[in-house]
């Protein structure tokens, strides 16, 4: 069905050797990705409030619709009709550019995510590097928001969170290097394919410490509690978002949640076998769970990590800024570098649970 | 016209316009942002040339790391425009001199005929399975392994030099020893003293 749709678009727009038709097809693929993503993001805010509510013995949102299920839409409409306030003497162009620069990379990284066997928008040969490159562009949203607001607290929040994001990008980069060394590929698709064959073949076993480091790094990169010093409402009011209202703020908010979903997805792809079923190669269970589609396993594992975000947020108090930095430079960085040498030795000498 | 040539003209247009805007913009933050746009356009042009590893590396290193530090410095700067303008004409003759030399060099090099398609030949098109990164890695880690390692050592020396510059004087800032703080025991901080209560008679 998809192939016939592609052919009919090519017949409809025959100019430039089908180049224009390819652009239209890419646009359709992008829309097919973004709409579920927005719905997922909207219901993630609902799930977050419910989960944290139950952990704190409250009931969470329960007024709009049955069980409060329409709450995300109520929030969206509230955001859309709010007034956008520009601080005096702020640079309006840069002020409005900042949320866009935060939002666009958060969506663009999804282009290379493999959702199943041969089920992706782009099978880029350097997709892991692409993820890191585009992910690092997201910092500009925070830098510019802090600078263009022409206000004290946003500048402070932007300064300390950019320093933090750059530092933890290093750590995540090193963790990804270990995965690349084992999989001997920088293609996300290949990394997942190499993990085929049940829960014992996934990379979380040989790279267990790296997985922990990656997840903590992911919490910092997405500005989540207990590392949410960008906002830090008890210290610097609302951090970079102080001066933002209405849709510009909503863009920051959406970017944060898209990044959260993406980091959960990346953790699954790198360490938990992507779309592979955990029961592959196990005699009886493999047949029982034969009917479950690949996409279900991927989203199921991803949902666990999304739940982990809420769980951690409800459990831990916020870290102090210098302690997060110490954790990065004095603990995680040496640990990852040592582990890179260990993995290099193991791959060279052919020891270990991988091939 | 092929579709890729349209993309080439679009990206080239952005590349040229943003680099001109980068030079002419008065606002330092805007100039830095235009430089970032220039990097993106250059990366897109490299993608069209099938150099996807180089393109992604350009974005990863220059946009993701170097320019973030630039923005960091710009945020700290005192953006007083009058002082910037006062210095401007003083460096104009020197600037013109340097740019004439650079332009002359580029004209000489580019007109030398070394870069003609007749000299190098049209590079062959690879199919989708061709791995750019493998080809680069093979060259870098076999044929050019010594220059590569030398460059790495040079960077390491630069890092050590930068760190020693910061730590050359004894630091006046107060530091916490966190492992000491964590390992502290109750007996290190607290002394139990048994004091005999005075009776009412003695205190008189």
Tell me the domain boundaries of chain A: 1-81, 83-348
> Is the pLDDT confidence value at A355 over 60?
no
Residue from the list B30, B60, B74 with its beta carbon closest to the beta carbon of A133 = B60
Closest-CA distance of chain B to residue A88, Å: 17
Half-sphere exposure of A245 (CA within 13 A, CB side): 9
Residue B204, pLDDT above cutoff 60: no
Site of tokens 């007749």: B118
**With pLDDT > 90 as the criterion, what percentage of chain A qualifies?**
12
Q: How confident is the model at residue A29 (pLDDT cuts 50, 70, 90)?
A: confident
Q: Of the given ranges (A145-149, B74-78, B136-140), which has the lowest mean pLDDT?
A: B74-78
Token duo for residue A117: 């066997």
Question: Structure tokens of B180?
Answer: 């000491």
The reply to whether omega before B19 is within 30° of 0 (cis) is no
Chain Cα centroid distance, residue B23: 19
Instruction: Give the model's confidence band at B102: pLDDT under 50 very low, under 70 low, under 90 confident, else very high.
Output: very high
Nearest to A125 among B29, B30, B52 (CB): B52
Helix (H), strand (E), coil (C) string for chain B? CCHHHHHHHHHHHHHHHHHHHHHHCCCHHHHHHHHHHHHHHHHHHHHHCCCHHHHHHHHHHHHHHHHHHHHHHHHHCCCCHHHHHHHHHHHHHHHHHHHHHHHHHHHHHHCCCCCCHHHHCCCCCCCCCCCHHHHHHHHHHHHCHHHHHHHHHHHHHHHHHHHHHHCCCCCCCCCCCHHHHHCCCHHHHCCCCCCCCCCCCCCC
Summary mean pLDDT of chain A: 84
Query: Is residue A140 classed exposed, middle or buried when 0-12, 13-18 and 19+ CB atoms within 10 A define those classes?
Result: buried
Q: How far is CA B47 from CA A87, A305, A329, in A?
A: 40, 34, 34
pLDDT at B171: 67
* Nearest residue in A to B67, CA atom: A140
Is the model's pTM score more than 0.80?
Answer: yes
Provide the percentage of residues in chain A whose pLDDT is more than 70: 96
pLDDT digits (tens, 9 = 90+) for B152-195: 999 999 999 998 887 777 667 777 777 888 888 888 888 888 88
* CATH node for B1-80: 1.20.120.1200
Cα distance from N-terminal residue to C-terminal residue, chain B: 111
Q: Which of A322, A334, A198 is nearest to A272 (CA)?
A: A198
A236 near A157, Cβ under 8 Å?
Answer: yes
Kindly report the nearest CA distance between residue B36 and chain A, in angstroms: 10
Name which of B36, B75, B132 is nearest A147 (Cβ-Cβ). Answer: B75
pLDDT tens, residue by residue, A264-312? 999 999 888 888 888 777 777 777 777 778 888 888 889 999 999 899 9
Interface residue A118 vs chain B (CB under 8 A)? no
**Number of residues assigned to chain B:** 204
Asked if A140 lies within 8 A of B68 by C-beta distance, the reply is yes
Q: What are phi and psi of A116, to 5 degrees?
A: -175, -175
């Amino acid at each position: 069905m998809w192939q016939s749709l592609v052919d009919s678009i090519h017949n409809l727009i025959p100019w430039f050797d089908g180049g224009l038709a390819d652009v239209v097809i890419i646009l359709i693929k992008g829309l097919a990705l973004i709409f579920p993503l927005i719905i997922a993001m909207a219901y993630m805010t609902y799930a977050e409030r419910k989960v944290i509510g139950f952990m704190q013995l409250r009931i969470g949102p329960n007024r709009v619709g049955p069980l409060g299920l329409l709450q995300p839409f109520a929030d969206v409409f509230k955001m859309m009709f709010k007034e956008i306030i520009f601080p005096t003497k702020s640079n309006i162009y840069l002020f409005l550019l900042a949320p866009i620069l935060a939002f666009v990379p958060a969506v663009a990284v999804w282009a290379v995510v493999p959702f199943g066997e041969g089920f992706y928008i782009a099978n880029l040969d350097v997709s892991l590097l692409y993820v890191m490159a585009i992910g690092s562009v997201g910092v500009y949203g925070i830098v510019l928001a802090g600078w263009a607001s022409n206000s004290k607290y946003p500048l402070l929040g932007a300064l300390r969170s950019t320093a933090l994001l750059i530092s933890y990008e290093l750590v995540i980069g090193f963790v990804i290097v270990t995965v690349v060394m084992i999989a001997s590929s920088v293609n996300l698709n290949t990394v997942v394919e190499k993990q085929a064959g049940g829960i014992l073949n996934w990379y979380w076993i040989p790279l267990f410490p790296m997985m922990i480091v990656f997840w903590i790094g992911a919490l910092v990169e997405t500005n989540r509690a207990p590392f949410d010093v960008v906002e830090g409402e008890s210290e610097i009011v609302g951090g970079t978002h102080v001066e933002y209202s209405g849709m510009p703020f909503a863009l920051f908010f959406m970017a944060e949640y898209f990044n959260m979903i993406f980091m959960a997805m990346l953790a699954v792809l790198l360490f938990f076998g992507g779309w592979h079923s955990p029961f592959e190669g196990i005699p009886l269970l493999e047949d029982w769970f034969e009917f479950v589609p690949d996409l279900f396993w991927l989203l199921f594992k991803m949902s666990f990590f999304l739940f982990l975000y809420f769980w951690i947020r409800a459990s831990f108090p916020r870290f102090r800024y210098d302690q997060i930095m110490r954790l990065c430079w004095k603990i995680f960085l040496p640990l990852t570098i040592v582990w890179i040498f260990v993995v290099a030795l193991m791959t060279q000498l052919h020891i270990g649970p991988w091939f | 016209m092929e579709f890729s040539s349209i993309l080439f003209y679009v990206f080239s247009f952005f590349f040229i316009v943003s680099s001109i805007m980068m030079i002419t913009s008065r606002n330092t933050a805007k100039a830095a942002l235009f430089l970032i746009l220039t990097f993106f356009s250059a990366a897109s042009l490299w993608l069209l040339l099938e150099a996807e590893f180089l393109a992604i590396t350009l974005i990863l290193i220059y946009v993701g790391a170097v320019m973030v530090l630039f923005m960091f410095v710009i945020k700290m700067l005192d953006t007083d425009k009058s002082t910037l303008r006062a210095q401007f004409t003083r460096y104009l003759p020197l600037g013109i001199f340097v740019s004439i030399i650079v332009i002359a060099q580029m004209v000489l090099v580019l007109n030398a005929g070394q870069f003609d398609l007749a000299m190098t030949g049209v590079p062959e098109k690879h199919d989708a399975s061709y791995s750019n990164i493998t080809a680069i890695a093979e060259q870098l880690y076999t044929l050019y392994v010594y220059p590569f390692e030398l460059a790495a050592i040079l960077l390491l020396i630069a890092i050590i030099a930068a760190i020693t510059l910061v730590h050359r004087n004894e630091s006046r800032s107060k530091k916490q020893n966190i492992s000491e703080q964590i390992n502290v025991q109750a007996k290190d901080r607290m002394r139990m003293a048994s004091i005999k209560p005075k009776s009412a008679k003695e205190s008189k």
